[in-house]
Copies of this chain bind each other. A is one copy, B any other.
Amino acid sequence: MANHSYAILGTGAIGGFYGGKLQKAGFEVHFLLNRDYEYVKENGLIVESVDGDFTLEKVNAYNDVAQMPRCDVVMVALKTTQNHLLPQLLPPLLKKKSIIVLLQNGLGAEEAVAKFVKHQPILGGLCFVCSNKIGPGHIRHLDYGTITLAEYSPKGEAAGNTNNMRLVGADLEQAEISIIRHEDLLLARWKKLVWNVPYNGLSVVLNAKTNQIMANKHTRRLAEDLMQEVVAGAAACDRIITEEFVEKMLDHTEKMKPYITSMKLDYDRRNALEVEAIFGNPLHMAKLVGVDLPRMWMLYQQLKFLDVQNRG
Contacts and interface: CB of A to CB of B under 8 A. Distances in A.
A163 interface: no
Given A222-B298, A294-B295, A295-B298, A212 B304 contact: no
B222 A309 contact: no
A134 interface: no
Contacts of A298: 222, 225, 294-295, 298-299
Given A216-B304, A225-B298, A294-B298, 11 more contacts: A206-B302, A206-B309, A208-B309, A213-B305, A219-B302, A219-B304, A219-B305, A222-B298, A222-B301, A294-B295, A298-B298
A97 interface: no
Contacts of A216: 304-305, 308
Interface of A: 202, 205-208, 212-213, 216, 218-219, 221-222, 225, 294-295, 297-302, 304-306, 308-309
A308 B295 CA distance: 22
Given A294-B294, A308-B216, A302 B205 contact: yes
Contacts of A212: 305, 309
A218 B299 CA distance: 10
B221 A305 contact: no
A221 B299 CA distance: 12
Contacts of A221: 301
Nearest to A300: B218
A219 B202 CA distance: 16
A202 B222 CA distance: 16
Nearest to A226: B298
Contact of A218 (B208, B295, B304): B304
A312 to B, nearest CB: 10
A199 to B, nearest CB: 14
Nearest to A216: B305
A218 B294 contact: no
Interface centre among A205, A294, A305 (most CB of B within 10 A): A305
Given A218-B300, A300-B218, A206 B294 contact: no
